[in-house]
Chain A
Amino acid sequence: MAAVQETIDQVALIDVDQYKYGFETTIEMDKAPKGLSEDIIRFISAKKDEPEWMLEWRLDAYRRWLTLEEPTWARVNYPKIDFNDIHYYAAPKSTPGPTSIDDVDPELLKVYEKLGIPLREQEILAGVEKPRIAVDAVFDSVSVVTTFKEELKKAGVIFMSISEAIREHPELVKKYLGTVVPTTDNYYATLNSAVFTDGSFVFVPKGVRCPMELSTYFRINEKGTGQFERTLIIAEDGAYVSYLEGCTAPQRDENQLHAAVVELVALDDAEIKYSTVQNWYPGDKEGKGGIYNFVTKRGDCRGKNSKISWTQVETGSAITWKYPSCILRGDGSRGEFYSIAVSNGHQQIDSGTKMIHLGKNTSSRIVSKGIAAGVSQNTYRGQVSTHRKAENARNFTQCDSLLIGDKCGAHTVPYIEARNSSAQFEHEATTSKISEDQLFYCLQRGIPTEAAIALIVNGFVKEVIQELPMEFAVEAQKLIGISLEGSVG
């Protein structure tokens, strides 16, 4: 069909050069020298003014990391990373801990303005109630500002950078840090434990429903740096919080490493909703540059009837290696994973989830939509398992892949492990291209090819988009559009 061919050609033309967050900002930076050693870790810890136990924790992780080998099982190819060629700490110089937004370097504020992220707390104007989002902005290695802190404090919610939390709430950090993703977990998580520089900390106390959406924007700006953030979210009994993160980076020829760890803890009847719009620089059309995104995200449904829901829209990064997981420990707990992974150009995505059913009457749901275009490789890798004692575990998994063009690849690798006769697992996966029938139906009704494909792709991902908070849903839809520009209007 000519129209389809045209679309394929158009997709072939698009490069990932459509990336609109590729600008670089010149800000005076305070950097650690390149390389990784115990001294660098001491340097980071000292910069952060950390207590002794934290330094020991880091050093312990570092020593363990030295004994580990880089994992190679994922379906991604990249040249060997020189872990000694990275600055493990880079912070904007002007801010030795800004106390208010006015202390923040105006250049930096401009960055966030360009990104369309409001760092100034919006006022509620008479009669016009805008949805308010509290933002924590992380620039390279440090958190520059956190908004709405005071208002959140009134509700009892703690929302601050993890460095501040280590100083101000050491008892909470000590109690929960590393309990979901232990320092021994995997190569990148162990590395992160040794060198993490910042990230967000959220604590929602018993019975509190967080009054607004919380969000963190991560930006890698400085050359030759790696970003290693650590996020810890705790929802006590009956608490609720919705958290979202966004990520961008400048356009560069070099590959930069991003190895984050996110830990979620949900106690009895608590609910955590974690959404990600990941839009790191994906590299150019030749596959040069881009972020290596090696992330460990895990939620622990520790209490009964707790719930953790992961929603992700992955459009960026040269390489994505990411499996947001749920440990369903509490009886009656529930885990959800909704994902849209779009790969174009030379991008490689190996992403999915793990649902580990340990408690009784636990349930999980996985909906994964992969869209591959260009010469990209898009893999879903997931695991669903039940413990022998986990009675009445339920899982539903659906992973669909859409291929645009004949040079890309879509792969599905699910691991399904049932250890209890009362388990009920359903898994289905499909791979296809945009149906010519559907396209024909639209064309026949006078909808141009571009719009028709947009319509079909939007329909394909709708189930996941619906799970995003409203403000993000619009952004995500736009992002998918940009990522596939040429085929989607």
Chain B
Amino acid sequence: MNMQTAITMTAAETALVDAYTAMIGELPGEGAVLSARDALLADLKRQGLPTRRVEAWHYTDLRALLRAVPAHDPSAFAQRVEPLVAGSSVLSVLNGKADVKTAPAGINLRSYAESLVEGVAAADLIERDTDDAIGRINGSFVRDGFEIEVPEGTVLEQPLELQLVQSAGQSHSRFPVTFGANSRATVIERHLSVGDAASLVTVVSDLILDDSAEITWIILQQQGASDSHLAQVNFDLGANAKLRLFIINAGGKLVRQEIHGVTTGEGADFQLRGINLLGGDTHTDVTFTLGHDVPNTTSKEVIRNVLFDRAKGVFQGQIRVAPDAQKTDAKMACNTLLLSDDADFSAKPELEIFADDVQCGHGATVIDINPTHLYYLRARGIPENKARAMLVNAFVDEIVEELEDEGLIETLETIISAWLEKHA
């Protein structure tokens, strides 16, 4: 105890505590919501930001890496942008403020600020675990977001785009989303920055998939080169529910993307595909945990990382199989192309298995571009830089192609190629 009180607060920790004092008066919600916020901030104050001594943050020492926290900037201006896929319904959060103009047909929706004011949101403002720094920060400061319900049997023909545009300061949003039984939907969660000002964005999405819901959730993170992005997706899969989660990180200075899920119904299936395009001075960490809590559930994760410049990449993946979760089939792969001597990549794929009749495996590789592949292309007259770009493209393209939707694949491929052209 003495040791903990002796810790001197870092600039970022002080800034967070000060921001709370400055902002609490205008943050939505009182009563239970306010006490939940106070409790989370008290924990943050007591424990500080996590260091590498906290196992979940072993490769991302948030205390050292989060140097500064920009103050909330109420005057900052951001504008809604065109959706990624034409025809999508767009729900935007501009500098942390939900912009509720149009509620797409077929879904129930309200701003998260309303839930906070009403007080029902108090139950969400908790820490997942003692090491849940993102939940703690987001829960203390959360201002807005959307509470979404896709009713039972609803099939959304067009994608739903959750668009978060940040121009400056800090913003903290939440998206509790319930997908009713047998619903079908594609959701695109998109993070953008406008302007060069550094900002801090935290976002927590809590997804509940009822029985037999089949959902594709795509996260495209393209924040600015000086931004900090702390995000968490939590999900709970009911019987025969299928969640396909695609994550593309192509921006940000300090990025931590957490994914925590459980399968609570038999026959549930989870698929994670991740592409991390890391360049410049970024530090990007994708941390994933999945609990197979009931028998007969399946999961597969494939993460592809490409690192240039002085980028640091981290992947932590943990698959837990509960004692009675027989017939679990879980596979995880993390492949990395390390293209610069100043870049580094750390991986920690974990298996924690308490049932015997299971098939679980993981693989992790770190390599440079295969010289024989390069030679093959060069022998056909393709210049070296172009040949390298082709090979890197092929390495990540495999993942995108699994999306099936032609329009979406093409859009994402364009984004990836543009990024690679800029960094390679």
- Point out residues on A near B: beta carbons under 8 Å: 73, 388, 401, 403-433
Contacts and interface: CB of A to CB of B under 8 A. Distances in A.
B344 A433 contact: no
Contacts of B346: 415-418
> How many residues of B sit at the interface, in one of the four size bands?
35 or more
Given A418-B345, A418-B346, A421-B368, A432 B359 contact: yes
B362 interface: yes
A427 B364 contact: yes
List 5 tightest A-B contacts by C-beta distance, closest first: A403-B356, A418-B366, A430-B361, A427-B364, A412-B351
Interface in B347-384: 347-368
A429 B340 contact: no
Nearest to B355: A406
Contacts of A426: 363-365
B343 interface: yes
A433 B357 CA distance: 6
B108 to A, nearest CB: 42
A412 B350 CA distance: 5
B351 A431 contact: yes
A213 B362 CA distance: 38
B272 interface: no
Given A408-B356, A411-B352, A425-B366, A416 B361 contact: no
13 contacts: A73-B55, A401-B351, A403-B355, A403-B356, A406-B324, A411-B352, A413-B348, A414-B347, A416-B347, A417-B344, A421-B340, A423-B368, A427-B363
Contacts of B282: none
B343 A421 contact: yes
Given A416-B348, A418-B336, A420-B341, A433 B358 contact: yes
A388 B350 CA distance: 25
A412 B354 CA distance: 12
Nearest to B351: A412
B326 interface: yes
Contacts of A403: 353, 355-356, 358
A187 to B, nearest CB: 16
Contact of B366 (A406, A423, A431): A423
Nearest to A411: B352
Nearest to A73: B55
Nearest to A388: B341
B361 A428 contact: yes
B153 interface: no
Contact of A421 (B339, B353, B359, B363): B339
The B interface, classified by DSSP as helix, strand, loop or mixed, is: strand
Contacts of B358: 403, 431-433
B323 interface: yes
A408 B355 CA distance: 7
Most buried by B among A388, A405, A420: A420
A457 B148 CA distance: 52
B338 interface: yes
A415 B348 contact: yes
A430 B350 contact: no
Nearest to B320: A411
Contacts of A422: 341, 368
Contacts of B361: 428-431
A412 B338 contact: no
A196 B55 CA distance: 32
Contacts of A420: 338, 341
A361 B274 CA distance: 31
Interface in B166-221: none
A413 B347 CA distance: 10
Nearest to A395: B366
Nearest to B370: A424
A428 B335 CA distance: 11
Contacts of A424: 365-368
Given A406-B324, A423-B368, 19 more contacts: A406-B323, A406-B326, A406-B356, A409-B354, A411-B353, A412-B350, A412-B362, A417-B346, A417-B347, A418-B338, A418-B366, A421-B339, A422-B341, A422-B368, A425-B364, A427-B349, A427-B364, A428-B361, A431-B360
A426 B362 CA distance: 11
A226 B24 CA distance: 58
A357 to B, nearest CB: 12
Contacts of B343: 421
Contacts of B362: 412, 427-429
Nearest to A377: B354
A419 B323 CA distance: 37
A429 B349 contact: yes
Given A401-B353, A411-B352, A416 B344 contact: no
A293 to B, nearest CB: 22
B26 to A, nearest CB: 43
Contacts of A404: 356
Given A414-B348, A416-B347, A409 B357 contact: no
B356 A433 contact: yes
B360 A430 contact: yes
Nearest to A403: B356
Contacts of B364: 414, 416, 425-428
Nearest to B344: A419
A390 to B, nearest CB: 11
Nearest to B318: A413
Nearest to A8: B356
Contacts of A425: 364-367
B341 A421 contact: yes
B102 to A, nearest CB: 47
B391 to A, nearest CB: 14
Nearest to A413: B350
B365 A427 contact: yes
B225 to A, nearest CB: 22
A417 B324 CA distance: 34
Nearest to A415: B348
A324 B48 CA distance: 35
A427 B342 CA distance: 22
Contacts of B341: 388, 420-422
A422 B339 CA distance: 8
A360 to B, nearest CB: 13
Nearest to A389: B341
B344 A418 contact: yes
Contacts of A388: 341-342, 344
Contacts of A415: 58, 346-348
